[in-house]
Amino acid sequence: MINKEIKLNDLLKIHDLENVRIKLNKFNGVDDPIDLFQKDPDLVNNQWLFWREKRRFFNVGQIAINLIRVQGDVYLLTTIKRVTKELGLENNINYEGEELDRYQPFFGRVLVKFHENFSTTVVGAAQIINQMVVSQLLPDVYTNQGFPGYDSVCLSYSELKSALERYKSEWIAALSNQKAVYLIRDKCNGKVYVGSATSQKGMLLNRWKSYMANGHGGNKSLKNLVMTRGFDYVKKYFQYSILENYNARVDDSLILKRETWWKNTFDSRNPKFGYNDN
């Protein structure tokens, strides 16, 4: 049996390739687009795709395919948009576009191999798309962030939300049956909140999901913070880590005792240092 290569356009089935341009995003010396994609997909799907200085990369009505380098000759398809408007050069984002819904199931899931032998970042699809071979169709949106171990968890709000909402199997499995004492740190003012995940509270997975949903997880002081500063404050400044973790068989009373010990250690009931209210 002969294994025939699957080209990118075998999936996309775009007929008018003369009206399509491909943007190849790579490490720019400061930021790696694959890291940014995992934190904020809109950043690479708008600012990176539609950024320009003097040269005009797209015309209104054209289709823009966005690829970001994962490593070597492997790229990830992140979006396909039709360009709807050209903006002024004073903006960082110089075009507007609407995502083509029929391709949405492929976004963040199609890895292609392509050896680039030119320096420009935007190329007409007719020139290169038939050289792009599908190397893998992922079951879920790409991530290179496997669960690092309980002692190494330290995530921003957006990183934790991504880990939970995109159903990264390693993260879900690691958190769903674990009791824990955890720490939330406000990076803006240095204050901390010590919390616990027990069987009564739905274990660590459900406890952290509650913070992703509303920013406060039911805590009085955090509720007040969200009411006064807004949910966006939490999304910008909060960081989540695990102080101690225990398997599901450990009695809840031990977890609560350890939670109290950490509250005393951080003095987190003191409004000067923390958000704990009991």
Give yes or no: residues 128 and 166 share one domain.
no
Residue with the two structure tokens 């539609």: 50
pLDDT in tens, 7-55: 999 999 999 999 999 999 998 878 889 888 988 899 999 999 998 877 7
Q: From 88, 106, 137, give the residue that closes a domain.
A: 137
Give yes or no: residues 217 and 155 share one domain.
yes
Q: What is the pLDDT of residue 172?
A: 84
What percentage of the chain reaches a pLDDT higher than 70?
96
Q: What is the pLDDT of residue 1?
A: 44
User: Residue 1 domain-assigned?
Assistant: no
d(CA 58, CA 34): 23
d(CA 18, CA 62): 9
Q: From 85, 110, 137, give the residue that closes a domain.
A: 137
User: Residue 274 domain-assigned?
Assistant: no
User: Residue 250 domain-assigned?
Assistant: yes
d(CA 202, CA 252): 11
Give yes or no: residues 21 and 130 share one domain.
yes
- Whether residue 133 has pLDDT greater than 70: yes
Give yes or no: residues 125 and 165 share one domain.
no
Q: What are φ and ψ of residue 38, in 5° steps?
A: -75, -25
pLDDT in tens, 137-183: 988 888 766 677 888 888 888 888 877 765 567 788 889 889 999 99
Ramachandran class of 13: left when φ > 0, alpha when ψ lies in -120 to 50, beta otherwise: left
Q: From 72, 102, 137, give the residue that closes a domain.
A: 137
Give yes or no: residues 108 and 16 share one domain.
yes
Q: What is the mean pLDDT of the chain?
A: 90
Q: What is the pLDDT of residue 3?
A: 57
Q: What is the pLDDT of residue 120?
A: 87
Give yes or no: residues 172 and 124 share one domain.
no
Report the number of distinct structural domains present in the chain. Answer: 2
Give yes or no: residues 126 and 167 share one domain.
no
Give yes or no: residues 13 and 133 share one domain.
yes
**Mean pLDDT, residues 252-256 taken together:** 95
User: Residue 58 domain-assigned?
Assistant: yes
Q: What is the pLDDT of residue 149?
A: 82
Give yes or no: residues 155 and 231 share one domain.
yes
Range of the domain at 33: 8-137
